[in-house]
C-alpha cells in the first residue's frame, strides 16, 4: 500500500497469534479504487500537511468495509487528504479484519444468504460473519491513538488534540476507541460517519462525538442513533446531523444529495472545538 506505514504492535498483534489465513490482499475495483482484505498486521499511514501548514492537531481515520475489507481509496486516503489540506495530520488506520476467502460464495455457503438491509436479522448475520473482528479492530484503534500520542513530538502534534474518525464498520472502531477506559488510548474527539454498532459501555469521560447519517440508510441509521443516545446517557457531549437522504457509504462523494455538505458541518464542529483554527 502507501509508503511510510507504521506498525502498531511489536511482533504479532495481541489476539491474532494463531491466525493462519491468507495474507493481506489489495483489491482493485472497476472504478480504479483500492480496497484491502485480510489485514493481519495493523498499521497507520501518515498523511502530513504541507510544510509549515500543520496546526498540531491529528486524527486517526478508520475506513469502513464491514470488517471484511477496508475502503482505502474511498473512505481512507481522500478523508486523510481533506484533513491535511486543513492543517491536521492524518493517520489512515489499517485495522484487523475477519478472514475472508477469495471466493465470497464460501461465506454464503457457511452462513446462508445475507438478509436484506433493514431486516432485523441482518445484525446477527453480520456479527456471525465477522466474529471477533470488531473487538480486534477496536484494540487496534486504541493502539493507534497510543502510538500517535507517544510519537507526537516527532510530528509536532499536541497530544491533547488527537481524535478518531470512522466510516461504517470503521465507525464501530472509532466509537469503541472513544469509549475506552484507558486514558492513554482515549481520543480527544470522535467522528462517527454512518457508523455501525457500539457494543461497549460509554464512560462519563468519553470525548465529544460528532455523528452523521442519512435517514434512508437502512443499514446503519438506527445504530448511529443508538450510539448517540449512549453518549447522551453517559453525559458526554454529542452532535448529530441526520440528513433526509444520501444512503450508506457516501463518504466525500458528491451525489446531489443532502449529505453532500456533511464535511462542512464537521469543519464547523472541529473549529468550535479548537481542532481547526478560527
Summarised one tens digit per residue, pLDDT across range 199-238 is 889 999 999 999 999 999 988 999 999 999 999 999 999 9
pLDDT > 70: percent of the chain: 94
Instruction: Give me the mean pLDDT over the 66-82 stretch.
Output: 94
Give the strand order in the sheet containing 69-70: 25-28, 34-37, 69-70
- At residue 22, the pLDDT reads 67
Relative orientation angle of helices 133-150 and 169-178, to the nearest 10 degrees:
60
- At residue 36, the pLDDT reads 92
Domains and CATH numbers, the chain: 6-272 (3.40.50.1820)
CA-CA-CA-CA torsion for 95, 182, 152, 143, nearest 10 degrees?
A: -20
123 Cβ contact partners less than 8 Å away, ≥ 6 residues apart:
197
Q: What is the mean pLDDT of the chain?
A: 91
Q: Where are the beta strands (DSSP E) in the chain?
A: 6-7, 25-28, 34-37, 43-47, 58-62, 69-70, 89-94, 162-167, 190-193, 209-214, 238-243
Cβ proximity of 76 and 31 under 8 Å: no
Distance in Å from the first CA to the final CA of the chain = 35
- At residue 107, the pLDDT reads 62
Q: Other C-beta atoms within 10 Å of 253: how many?
A: 13
Cβ proximity of 219 and 248 under 8 Å: yes
Amino acid at each position: 500500500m502507501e509508503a511510510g506505514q507504521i506498525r502498531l504492535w511489536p511482533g504479532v498483534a495481541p489476539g491474532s497469534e494463531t491466525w493462519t489465513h491468507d495474507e493481506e490482499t489489495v483489491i482493485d475495483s472497476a472504478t480504479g479504487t483500492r480496497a484491502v482484505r485480510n489485514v493481519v498486521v495493523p498499521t497507520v499511514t501518515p498523511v502530513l500537511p504541507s510544510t509549515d501548514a500543520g496546526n498540531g492537531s491529528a486524527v486517526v481515520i478508520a475506513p469502513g468495509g464491514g470488517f471484511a475489507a477496508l475502503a482505502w481509496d474511498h473512505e481512507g486516503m481522500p478523508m486523510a487528504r481533506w484533513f491535511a489540506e486543513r492543517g491536521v495530520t492524518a493517520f489512515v488506520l489499517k485495522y484487523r479484519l475477519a478472514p475472508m476467502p477469495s471466493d465470497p460464495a464460501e461465506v454464503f455457503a457457511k452462513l446462508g444468504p445475507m438478509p436484506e438491509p433493514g431486516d432485523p436479522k441482518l445484525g446477527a448475520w453480520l456479527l456471525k460473519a465477522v466474529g471477533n473482528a470488531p473487538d480486534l479492530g477496536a484494540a487496534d484503534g486504541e493502539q493507534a491513538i497510543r502510538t500517535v500520542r507517544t510519537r507526537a513530538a516527532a510530528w509536532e502534534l499536541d497530544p491533547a488534540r488527537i481524535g478518531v474518525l470512522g466510516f461504517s464498520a470503521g465507525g464501530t472502531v472509532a466509537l469503541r476507541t472513544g469509549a475506552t477506559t484507558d486514558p492513554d488510548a482515549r481520543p480527544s474527539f470522535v467522528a462517527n460517519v454512518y457508523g455501525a454498532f457500539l457494543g461497549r459501555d460509554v464512560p462519563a469521560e468519553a470525548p465529544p462525538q460528532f455523528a452523521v447519517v442519512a435517514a434512508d440508510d437502512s443499514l446503519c441509521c438506527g445504530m448511529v442513533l443508538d450510539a448517540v443516545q449512549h453518549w447522551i446517557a453517559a453525559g458526554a457531549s454529542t452532535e448529530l446531523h441526520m440528513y433526509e437522504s444520501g444512503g450508506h457509504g457516501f463518504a466525500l462523494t458528491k451525489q446531489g444529495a443532502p449529505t453532500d455538505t456533511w464535511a462542512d458541518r464537521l469543519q464547523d464542529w472541529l473549529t468550535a472545538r479548537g481542532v481547526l483554527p478560527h
